[in-house]
Structure 1
Amino acid sequence: MAEPTQPLLIDPNSPPRRSLDDTIETYIGTFGWAQFLQAALVSFSGVFDAQQTFISVFTDFEPTWHCTGRSEPGSICHEAVSNICILPKTAWSWDFSPHVSVISEWNLQCAGSFVKGLPESSFFVGCLFGGLILSTLADSSLGRKNMLFLSCLLMSISTMLTVFSPNIWVYAFLRFVNGFGRATIGTCALVLSTELVGKKWRGRVGIMSFFGFMLGFLSLPIVAYVNRGKSWRVLYVWTSIPTIIYCVLVRYFVCESPRWLFVRGRREEAISILKRVASIPKNTDVNNGGVISMSFEEGEEEEYEKPSVNIYESMKVLVGKRWALKRLSAIMAVAFGIGLVYYGMPLALSDLDFNIYLSAAFNALMDLPANLITLFLVDKLSRRNALIGFTALGGVSSVLIFALQNMRIGNHGALQLALELISYFSACSAFNMEMIYTIELFPTCVRNSAIALARQALVLGGVFSPIMVAAGRKNGFWSFGLFGLAIGLLGLCVVGLPETRGSDLCDTMDEEECKDQQSKNVITRIVIA
Structure 2
Amino acid sequence: MTIKENADVDRSAAGIVARLERLPVSRPLVWARMVVGSATFFDGYTTLAIAYAMPVLAKLWQLPPSKVGLVISSGYLGQLIGALFFGWLAERIGRLRTLTITVSIFAIMSVACIFSWNATSLIVFRFIQGIGTGGEVPVASAYVNEFVGARSRGRFFLLYELLFLVGLVFAALIGYELVPRFGWQMMFWIGVVPVVLTVPLRFFLPESPRWLLTHGRIPEAEDVISRLEKDVTDRGIELPPPIRATGIVASFERGSWRDLFSGIYRKRTLTLWVLWFCSYLINNGLATWLPTLYRTVFNIPLRTSLLYGLIMTTVAVVVSFVCAISIDKVGRRPWYIGAFGLAVIPLGVLSIIGASTAIQVLVFATCAYAIIQTITYSLYLYSAELYPTRMRAVGAGIGSAWLRAGSMAGPALIGFVVAESGVHTVFLSFAVVAIVGAVTCALFATETKGRVLEELSP
Please indicate the TM-score interval, normalised by the length of the shorter structure. 0.7 to 0.9
Give the AA of the match of 1:336: F
Letter paired with 1:499: E
Q: Which residue pairs with 1:135 in the alignment?
A: 87
User: What corresponds to 1:272 in structure 2?
Assistant: 223
Q: Does 1:40 align with 2:34?
A: yes
For 2:413 and 2:118, the matched residues in 1 are separated by: 28
Q: 1:458 aligns with which of 400, 403, 411?
A: 403
1:304 aligns with 2:252: yes
CA-to-partner distance for each residue in 1:198-232, whole Å, 9 max, x for gaps?
23322222223333223322333454534644454
What is aligned with 2:77?
125
1:439 is paired with a residue of what secondary structure? helix
Map 1:462-501 onto structure 2 (within 5 A). 462-470=407-415, 471=417, 474=421, 478-495=425-442, 496-501=444-449
Amino acid of the residue matched to residue 432 of structure 2?
L
**Closer/same/farther in 2, CA of residues 490 and 219 from structure 1, 3 Å limit:** closer
Q: Is the 8 A contact 2:109 2:129 kept in 1?
A: yes
Q: CA deviation at 1:39?
A: 2.3
Structure 2 residue aligned with 1:204: 155
Q: CA RMSD in A?
A: 3.8
Q: Deviations over 1:118-151 (max 9, x none)?
A: 432321221122223332222x202322222211
TM (norm. structure 2) is 0.82
Shift of 1:152: 0.5
Secondary structure at the counterpart of residue 305 of structure 1:
coil
Per the alignment, residue 262 of structure 1 pairs with: 213
2:112 corresponds in structure 1 to 161
Q: Do the aligned partners of residues 24 and 338 (structure 1) sit closer, same or farther apart at CA in structure 2, a change above 3 Å counting?
A: farther
Quote the offset at 1:477 in angstroms. 6.2
What is the distance in 2 between the residues matched to 1:162 and 1:332? 31
The yes-or-no answer on 1:362 pairing with 2:304 is no
Distance 1:395 1:47 in 2: 29
Residue 3 of structure 1: how far off its partner (Å): 6.5
Aligned match of 2:45: 51
- Please say if residues 275 and 292 of structure 1, whose CA atoms lie closer than 8 Å, have aligned partners that are also in contact: no
The aligned residue for residue 171 of structure 1 is 122
Asked if the contact 1:163–1:236 (Cα under 8 Å) also holds between the matched residues in 2, the reply is yes
On the 8 A contact 1:9/1:292 being kept in 2, the answer is: no
Q: Is the 8 A contact 2:214 2:251 kept in 1?
A: no
Of 53-62 and 496-505, the range deviating more from structure 2:
496-505
Q: State the match for 1:61 in structure 2.
A: 55
CA deviation vs aligned residue, 1:323-356 (integer Å, no higher than 9, x gap): 2232121111011110122022332564799974
Change in CA separation of 1:405 and 1:227 when aligned onto 2, cut-off 3 Å: closer
2:354 to 395, 400, 405: 405
Do the aligned partners of 1:204 and 1:378 also contact (CA within 8 Å) in 2?
no
**What secondary structure, in the 3-state scheme, does the structure 2 residue paired with 1:265 have?**
coil
Q: Is the 8 A contact 1:143 1:256 kept in 2?
A: yes
CA radius of gyration, larger in: 1
Cα offsets for 1:158-197 (capped at 9, x unmatched): 2223344454433321211101121111112222222221
Distance 1:295 1:475, change over 3 A: closer
Partners of 1:144 and 1:257 within 8 A in 2: yes
| Corresponding position of 2:22 | 27
Cα distance in structure 2, aligned partners of 1:125 and 1:466: 11
AA aligned opposite 2:107? S
Which aligned pairs between 1:270-419 and structure 2 lie closer than 5 A?
Answer: 270-277=221-228, 282=233, 301=249, 304-305=252-253, 314-319=256-261, 321-346=262-287, 347-348=289-290, 350=294, 356-405=305-354, 417-419=362-364
| Aligned mates of 2:124, 2:133 — CA distance in 1 | 14
| Residues 1:334 and 1:279: Cα distance change in structure 2 (over 3 Å) | farther
1:420 alignment partner in structure 2: 365
CA 1:181–1:199 in structure 2 vs 1: closer, same or farther (change >3 Å)?
A: same
Structure 1 residue 448 corresponds to structure 2 residue 393: yes
The residue aligned with 1:237 is 189
Distance change (3 Å), C-alpha of 1:214 and 1:433 = closer
Per mean C-alpha deviation after superposition, the further-off stretch among 436-445 and 229-238 is 229-238
C-alpha distance in 1 between matches for 2:115 and 2:285? 31
CA distance in 1, matches of 2:51, 2:143: 30
Output the CA distance in 1 between the equivalents of 2:235 and 2:155: 28
Provide the secondary structure at the position in 2 that maps to 1:256.
coil
Q: Mind listing any 5+ residue stretches in structure 1 that lack a counterpart?
A: 11-16, 63-100, 307-312, 506-511, 519-529
Aligned to 1:55, the other structure's residue is in SS state helix
Cα shift at 1:363: 0.9
CA–CA distance in 1 between the matches of 2:116 and 2:199? 26
TM-score normalised by length of structure 1:
0.72
The residue type equivalent to 2:35 in the other structure is L
Task: Determine the structure 2 residue equivalent to 1:92.
Answer: none
Distance of 1:380 and 1:31 partners within structure 2: 25
Q: How far apart, in 2, do the equivalents of 1:464 and 1:168 lie?
A: 18
- The residue number in structure 2 matching 1:187 is 138
**Deviation string for 1:95-121 (max 9, x for gaps)?**
xxxxxx5863xxx22x54444444323
Tell me how far apart the structure 1 counterparts of residues 116 and 363 of structure 2 sit (CA, whole Å): 40
Cα deviation code 1:292-351 (max 9, x no counterpart) = 575768xx6387226xxxxxx6323324x2322321211110111101220223325647
- The count of residues paired between Structure 1 and Structure 2 equals 442
Q: Distance in 2 between matches of 1:357 and 1:234?
A: 14
CA contact (8 A) 1:388 1:491 kept: yes
Shift of 1:387: 2.1
Name which structure has the greater RCO, CA cutoff 8 Å, separation 6+: 2
SS for the counterpart of 1:254 is coil
Is 2:364 the partner of 1:435? no
Q: Percent identity?
A: 19
The CA distance in 2 between the partners of 1:8 and 1:461, in whole Å, is 42
Give, in angstroms, the shift of residue 488 of structure 1.
Answer: 3.0
Provide structure 2 residue ranges, at least 5 long, that are not aligned to the other structure: none
- Secondary structure at the aligned position of 1:200 is classed as coil
